[in-house]
Amino acid sequence: MADTLKKTLDPQLNRRGFIKGCTMAAAALGLSETMVPKLVEAATSAQRPPVVWLHFQECTGCTETLLRASHPDLARLLLDVISLDYHETVMAAAGHQAEQLLHDTIKNHEGKFLLIVEGGIPLAEDGIYCKIAGKTAKDILAEVAPKSAAVIAIGACAAFGGIQAAKPNPTGAVGVRDLVTDKPVINISGCPFNPISLLGTILHYLTFNRLPELDSLGRPLFAYGRRIHDHCERRAHFDEGRFVEQFGDDFHKQGYCLYKVGCKGPETFANCPSVRFNNVDVWPVSVGHGCVGCTEPNFWDTMTPFYDRLPNVSIPATGIVEDADSVGRKVLGVTAAAIGIHAAVGVGKRLVKGKGKSEE
């Protein structure tokens, strides 16, 4: 099959692309290059494990992210790697034929299928805010999850409730881990997630028949084990005290550190700076915008206001926890007064206002 496929889609490039994907995944997983053939073999074993992908309270951005994967792309993933038996956005079947497929898959592959959940689950008012085929999201999850082999909560919503769970959380939205306690639940967080993190997890599962090692928040360490700040290309500017003071200024033009205009890299764990997005070597910081902390729980509340800076960030080498304003003052001679920055506690009590009046 792999041989015919390589002719169908991008002759030659396709197989090579897939090996490249496995190589990238091996690197992301921290595995030796000698493991690549094993990953390829596991991924193309023709077993194609059944996958059920459920949608609840979501924007379909994570499904779009799956569509945007390129090593392998979705065509190859579907034809060779997994059997995507239920996925409302791409499946041909509708209505009761779709319901039947879900029913058949969980019955025929009980304990064997991988469940991927996209979206939060509303619990308020007994779950009436999200219904599919007359059933609430929470009832569907309660029915399907116990019969799966493992659950992947994909994206910020399924992992931690997501945007609908932001204050005041009108629908009582929660993440999968709040509800599923009798199965392994792996959180691939992010808004949206990075495809390489899902691919790495699936390949790890197929190759070693177990899930990768997780952090305390249920996220695979291979993808969420490092702080963005610690492997950001603008880190040298931070260390030297060179900061963007406001968007559009000369320092912004110089590509200085975005910490003072709200970058949440110092408190966010993810692989964005290293694996980047869409195979064009970009991520938010590379286009002049700070990280918003989208891989962290409840970032819509804990990381906002997004354009205010985090307080009390430790300065490397000195080990001193120091205010970034004074760092900037020392190195660049920019005074806090001149740029109107005042340290005062903002919303959520975790943030310092990076702008505005001193009485704030």
Partner 1 sequence: MSERIVIDPVTRIEGHLKIEVEINNGVVTDAWSSGTLFRGIETILKGREPEEAWLLTQRLCGVCTYIHGVSSVRSVENALGLSVPQNARLVRNLLTGGLYVHDHPVHFYHLSALDWVDIVSALSASPAATESLAYSLSPNAPAIDFAATQVDLRSFVDSGKLGPFAGGYWGHSAYTLSPEENLLFAAHYLHALRQQVKAGRMHAIFGGKNPHVQSLRVGGVTCKDEITSSRISQFRNILNEMRHFIDTIYLPDVQHLATAYPDWAGIGGFKNYLAFGEFQMSDSDPGELFLPCGVIMNKNIDQIEDVMLGQINEHVQHSWYEGNTARYPQNGETVPNYTGYDTADRYSWLKAPRYNGQPMEVGPLARVLVAYGLGQPQVVAAVDQFLNAANLTIADMHSTMGRAAARAIETKVIADQMGAWLDQLKRGATAMVSTSIPATASGFGLNEAPRGALGHWINIEGGKIGNYQMVVPSTWNLGPRCASGDRGPVEEALIGTPVVDAEKPIEILRIVHSYDPCIACAVHVTDNDRDSHYIVKAV
Q: Which residues 73-132 are close enough to bind partner 1 by CB under 8 A?
A: 73-75, 78-79, 82-85, 87-95, 97-101, 122, 124-126, 128-132
Residue selected from 227, 289, 342, 350 as contacting partner 1 according to rule CB under 8 A: 289
d(CA 327, CA 315): 9
Segment near partner 1 (CB under 8 A); pick from 23-31, 161-169, 177-185, 212-220: 161-169
Segment near partner 1 (CB under 8 A); pick from 30-38, 45-53, 143-151, 317-325: 45-53
Size of the site for partner 1 (CB under 8 A): 95
State the amino acid at position 326 in one-letter form: S
- Cβ of residue 335: shortest distance to partner 1, in angstroms? 19
Phi then psi dihedrals of residue 239, to 5 deg: -60, -30
Residues 130-159 that bind partner 1 (CB under 8 A): 130-134
- Cβ of residue 82: shortest distance to partner 1, in angstroms? 8
Residue selected from 307, 322, 323, 344 as contacting partner 1 according to rule CB under 8 A: 307
d(CA 77, CA 50): 12
How is residue 310 annotated by DSSP?
P
Residue selected from 145, 153, 304, 341 as contacting partner 1 according to rule CB under 8 A: 304
d(CA 287, CA 284): 5
Residues 264-283 that bind partner 1 (CB under 8 A): 277-280, 282-283
For partner 1, the closer of residues 31 and 294 by Cβ is 294
- Cβ of residue 320: shortest distance to partner 1, in angstroms? 30
Contacts of 130-137 with C-beta under 8 Å, sequence gap 24+, read 130/56, 130/57, 130/171, 132/55, 132/88, 133/96, 133/98, 133/99, 137/56, 137/57
Residue selected from 22, 40, 153, 164 as contacting partner 1 according to rule CB under 8 A: 164
Q: Are 26 and 33 in contact (CB under 8 A)?
A: yes
Residues 199-258 that bind partner 1 (CB under 8 A): 246-248, 252-253, 255
Segment near partner 1 (CB under 8 A); pick from 52-60, 208-216, 231-239, 311-319: 52-60
16 binds partner 1 (CB under 8 A): no
- Cβ of residue 78: shortest distance to partner 1, in angstroms? 6
d(CA 276, CA 263): 17
- Cβ of residue 295: shortest distance to partner 1, in angstroms? 13
Sign of CA dihedral 162, 165, 166, 170: positive
318 binds partner 1 (CB under 8 A): no
340 binds partner 1 (CB under 8 A): no
309 binds partner 1 (CB under 8 A): no
d(CA 306, CA 264): 8
d(CA 253, CA 255): 5
Instruction: Measure CA of the first residue to CA of the last residue in the chain; give whole Å.
Output: 65
Residue selected from 28, 36, 57, 237 as contacting partner 1 according to rule CB under 8 A: 57
Would you state the torsion angle of the CA atoms of residues 306, 308, 312, 317, taken in this order, to the nearest 10 degrees?
A: 80
- Cβ of residue 135: shortest distance to partner 1, in angstroms? 10
d(CA 319, CA 304): 26
- Cβ of residue 315: shortest distance to partner 1, in angstroms? 25
Q: For residue 94, what are its two tokens?
A: 């509708």
For partner 1, the closer of residues 23 and 70 by Cβ is 70
d(CA 327, CA 333): 9
- Cβ of residue 242: shortest distance to partner 1, in angstroms? 15
305 prior amide bond cis, ω within 30: yes
